[in-house]
Structure 1
């Protein structure tokens, strides 16, 4: 990977590449990029956890809500998960629906979309036994959708451009090679797409503030929504509103690495071996949705959303003394997802809809 990066830099017109191109290379280069190579990324032997990998409570809560949307709100029984990772969340959702709703189960279609050949292989091993499941490698192959589309930690894994305000002028941060090492350099911001984004979103940076510009996120979001004729779009991720980006705590931006469950601020280390991630821009997704007739139904803290969808229904009384029993572990996972300071504290849920019938209640009372 380091040789590839150095070759990219040497062959570039000005001997440097953008952070966007760096992240695209180290995360998605076929066979050697972090997300596409054959390596476990999630869980104990990986580099990070997701909500769906902390037991099955998260998946069961989503499944319970999906059932409500289909049975009570009249949505078609079609669920599409974008960026399905190792398939664990899909399995928990499918297992719950099969267990509790045999009639709905017989008509259900669940599509997993993932560009990683390794992930698709793992998904097929995990959920391929279900006849209701289909696998796709690209949104281009996604048919026009009426139903439920969702993602869990998809957009935070996309490349971003990095800019900074320095002495009253905007600069873009690039990557180059000095004495054999990857280092940052800054140049006056000239990328017109970035300038257009800042103008459209009315972004004003403070002195020495860093900011990640999510052009790739917008492209991928527009691909997704272009396929949705009617239904709900659920985005689960960590991120901020534009007002929150202005807070002092966020002035150094949010680009981070995760390597063997350690957060790494030096994001040029371990290229291709380390997860890179940044907090997403929820206001941008909201405005992009409005531009194509998606209604904003709410931006929730994840624990608030899970409570609205009925996750407490999963809590079970038990008299077992074994702390590692299935019920005990699920109860602990639920508490971890809903209590202040738990796993949900860092995540938000954006709910958008298109062409739904009037007066549809998207949450049970």
Structure 2
């Protein structure tokens, strides 16, 4: 069935792109000797040049896309992130903002607008974006909505060598390729891999391709998790080198990581036997990552204990960990909601940001400090670091 947001020609083009991506993945499987580790498949499905989900040009964000993020729901989210950013920039005596994967540009617009209101604009607002198509959409939105602030914005394809300020990553970690594993009946560990079966993408298991996966699973099992035969889950092996790169680039400042996930005890709880991997297309959720590759988003929840451990190993200090609702309350969303200009629509959007049954509890915020001290407002209402 054609989505009401798509024309027949657009649907045909999307299906052709998906078919090309599947053929490309099959060729990569053949080149790798007949199987790809799941993280390599996920990287191709999401980021293969010109074909992957995030780089192929389809509309992804908002009501006419595949999912809605917090910045799309309401500028109140960005105003609160800006309030926290302003605290850090004030303590540093200035600095820059670097946003990873800025999506439609909604967060950048809201943050810059609010920082201008607070007379606390950053020296630069950098966006590190891997998708040329999204980069162009972000440029257009910023130019259309805040043209007077557009000169402060610049787009990067790699980390700056030196950085001082605030790094923002909203729903970035969940889109990192993850490795998947399964516990065998004898207690050993297999890796989930992808094979080509007569042109169809099929998953199976194989001995782990790297010792890193074995070591990571062993650490989880030593902590008492993921021990039952058949238990299947994910591990983000790319998290540690990513945070190490951030630590090397940052001279001083704060990293704010906002995403859905759990502490390790919740992530690998006994009844979560099939992991957290999910796919999203046209606001529907699927559990088949091999369905129309390139046309659906693919995500895994975040193990925030692993994030904290990797951050500390990279030279950061843990600044705080809390729910999105408590972070927004700490940053003053309640005061924003009492403004005379607030609308019914904005109140409804705020409920989605704050309610436990919506995004309020499911999303978490973790902060990392580097060469800076501060009791940040976002973690002042309720800090849950002890749960990590």
Structure 1 length-normalised TM? 0.90
Q: Which residue of 2 aligns with 1:158?
A: 176
Equivalent residue of 2:111, what SS?
A: helix
Mapped pair 1:131 → 2:148? no
Unaligned runs of 5+ in 1: 319-324
CA distance in 2, matches of 1:101, 1:317: 16
Equivalent residue of 2:343, what SS?
A: helix
Q: Which residue of 2 aligns with 1:322?
A: none
Say if 2:127 and 2:156, in contact at 8 Å, map to a contact too.
yes
Aligned counterparts, 1:60-139, within 5 A: 60-71=79-90, 73-98=91-116, 100-102=117-119, 104-105=120-121, 108-128=123-143, 129=147, 130-139=150-159
CA distance in 2, matches of 1:333, 1:51: 9
Shift of 1:12: 2.1
Equivalent residue of 1:353, what SS?
A: strand
CA distance in 1, matches of 2:268, 2:154: 42
Q: Which residue of 1 aligns with 2:195?
A: 176
Unaligned runs of 5+ in 2: 1-20, 381-388
CA-to-partner distance for each residue in 1:193-234, whole Å, 9 max, x for gaps?
Answer: 212323455464222111212112222222222211111111
- Out of 143, 161, 173, which is 1:143 matched to? 161
Mapped pair 1:304 → 2:326? yes
Aligned counterparts, 1:25-44, within 5 A: 25-44=44-63
Q: Which residue of 1 aligns with 2:10?
A: none
- Out of 257, 260, 267, which is 1:245 matched to? 267
CA distance in 2, matches of 1:65, 1:330: 21
Say if 1:116 and 1:137, in contact at 8 Å, map to a contact too.
no
Q: Which residue of 1 aligns with 2:377?
A: 363
Rate the CA distance shift 1:101–1:190 in 2: closer, same or farther, 3 A: closer
Say if 2:194 and 2:202, in contact at 8 Å, map to a contact too.
yes
CA distance in 1, matches of 2:93, 2:301: 31
Q: Which residue of 1 aligns with 2:9?
A: none
Shift of 1:361: 2.6
Rate the CA distance shift 1:216–1:292 in 2: closer, same or farther, 3 A: closer
Q: Which residue of 2 aligns with 1:6?
A: 26
Say if 2:321 and 2:366, in contact at 8 Å, map to a contact too.
yes
Q: Which residue of 1 aligns with 2:354?
A: 338
CA-to-partner distance for each residue in 1:304-355, whole Å, 9 max, x for gaps?
Answer: 111111111211355xxxxxx9622222222321222122222100011011
Structure 2 length-normalised TM? 0.85
Q: After the TM superposition, which of the residue ranges 214-223 and 117-126 deviates more from structure 2?
A: 214-223
Mapped pair 1:57 → 2:76? yes
Q: Which residue of 1 aligns with 2:284?
A: 262
Q: After the TM superposition, which of the residue ranges 308-317 and 156-165 deviates more from structure 2?
A: 308-317
Say if 1:75 and 1:231, in contact at 8 Å, map to a contact too.
no
CA distance in 2, matches of 1:310, 1:316: 10
CA-to-partner distance for each residue in 1:59-114, whole Å, 9 max, x for gaps?
Answer: 1111122223333x34524211111122111011112222x234x33x64211111
Rate the CA distance shift 1:196–1:343 in 2: closer, same or farther, 3 A: same
Equivalent residue of 1:250, what SS?
A: coil
Q: Which residue of 2 aligns with 1:321?
A: none
Equivalent residue of 1:112, what SS?
A: strand
